[in-house]
Amino acid sequence: MQNLKLSSLAEAIGTASVPVHRAFADASATAEIFHRLLELAGPLGVLTLEDLVAFTKTGRRPDVSKIAMAARLPRAAGVYMFVDRRGTVLYVGRAIDLRERVRDHFFADAGSRTRNLIKQSAGIEFEETPTELAAEMRQLQLIAQHKPRYGHLRDPEPMHG
């Protein structure tokens, strides 16, 4: 689009409401535009408002068939493990917000190690922890225990949201 004015967007999408710089008409057109964008983004794996926000930040298509694995994760500190069909731990991560961090993996660059991890994953296991430090300690324990294919012991790094 050449510009992102409400009137231009409404015309391009073909809204029934015509924005005329009046609150109700403009709000109605905005709602129609928003709903249409959600319809267009659905096949790209954007199923919720959270998905839409993440998608607009990255501009990358998530793995539609697997992004739902993150939906049941809590918004809490903890560790998470991507596992394959046999239950083998492929990767162990930690986060302040488990749901947000795991969702980030689904928007990784195509061809990256993370994309390969997602392709091989069949599920996500997680454990909530009371603190960030507890999550970091548990991550190190799980890495030592499982020796995941996509993870290795590294110097501690800052936790991801």
129 and 94, same domain (yes or no): yes
Same domain, 71 and 133: yes
Same domain? For 139 and 88 the reply is: yes
126 and 72 in a common domain: yes
Q: Are residues 35 and 80 in the same domain?
A: no
User: Per-residue DSSP letters for the chain?
Assistant: -----HHHHHHHHT-SS---S-HHHHHHHHHHHHHHHHHHHGGGT--SHHHHHHHHHH-----TTTGGGGTT--SSSEEEEEE-TT--EEEEEEESSHHHHHHHHTTPPTTSHHHHHHHH--EEEEEE-SSHHHHHHHHHHHHHHH--TT-------PPB-
Together in a domain, 78 and 138: yes
Same domain for 72 and 39? no
What is the reported pLDDT for 71?
Answer: 77
Same domain, 72 and 117: yes
* Domain boundaries, position 15: 6-44
Task: Output the pLDDT for position 92.
Answer: 95
In a domain, 19, yes or no: yes
Which has more pLDDT, 123 or 45?
123
> Tens of pLDDT along 130-142?
999 999 999 999 9
Higher model confidence: residue 90 or residue 67?
90
| Residue 118 forms part of a structural domain | yes
Q: Count up the domains in the chain and report the number.
A: 2
Return the top range by mean pLDDT from 25-29, 51-55, 108-112.
25-29
Residue 122, pLDDT above cutoff 90:
yes
Residue 109 lies in a domain: yes
User: CATH no. for residue 76?
Assistant: 3.40.1440.10
pTM for the complete prediction? 0.64
Residue 23 placed within a domain: yes
